Amino acid sequence: SLRPPPPPPTSTSMAPKPVSTAGKAPASTASKAPATASKAPSKTTDKKAGKKTKSAAPGDGEKKKRKKVRKETYSSYIYKVLRQVHPDTGISNKAMSILNSFVNDIFERIASEASKLAQYSKKSTISSREIQTSVRLILPGELAKHAISEGTKSVTKFSSATTTK
């Protein structure tokens, strides 16, 4: 492939680079390479170097530069609860996805109801009181009672932990 010639030097004190070093790292980073190699493994420098050489080909280089987007789920917490309730029972990925969607749905319902309650009382902050009221409104009967008792227990535990610090 044809490369454009390197740009001319901006100051007269800097000597022009030979054409043969156009694809290599600048001399300033080359002198630092042995120092970094003794401090840390060369694993990270290999990846960076690989990205630099691949950047000439736009198809390959862009795929390597992208970071994997982290998806936030409740999977680990659901699994911990499953271990407490049924230690010898597993769960499929599909079932975990359904439970994760369920938790997100309930969260959205409670949060939106709590937001409405805060707006009605002309408050800009959602407190545990709005959450408790929205749980009473959204969840049916016995489920609401259990949720409120667990929530109250958690808020009490959190409050006592923050006051002791």
Using alpha carbons only, what angle is made at residue 69 by residues 68 and 70, rounded to the nearest 5 degrees? Answer: 110
Q: How far apart are CA 97 and CA 73, in angstroms?
A: 9
> 75-164 has which fold?
Histone, subunit A (1.10.20)
- Cα-Cα-Cα-Cα dihedral of 97, 99, 104, 105, to 10°? 120
Q: How far is CA 37 from CA 7, 33, 42, 112, in A?
A: 31, 6, 6, 53
Q: How high is the pLDDT of residue 163?
A: 84
Q: Give first-to-last CA distance, the chain, whole Å.
A: 64
Q: How high is the pLDDT of residue 67?
A: 86
**Rounded average pLDDT per 10-residue block, the chain, 165 residues:** 63 50 47 42 44 52 76 94 96 96 96 95 93 96 96 94 82
Q: How many CB atoms lie within 10 A of CB 158?
A: 11
Is the entire prediction scored with pTM above 0.75?
A: no
Q: How high is the pLDDT of residue 5?
A: 67
Q: How high is the pLDDT of residue 10?
A: 57
Q: How far apart are CA 26 and CA 15, in angstroms?
A: 13
Task: Give residues with Cβ within 8 angstroms of 6, minimum separation 6.
Answer: 17, 19, 22
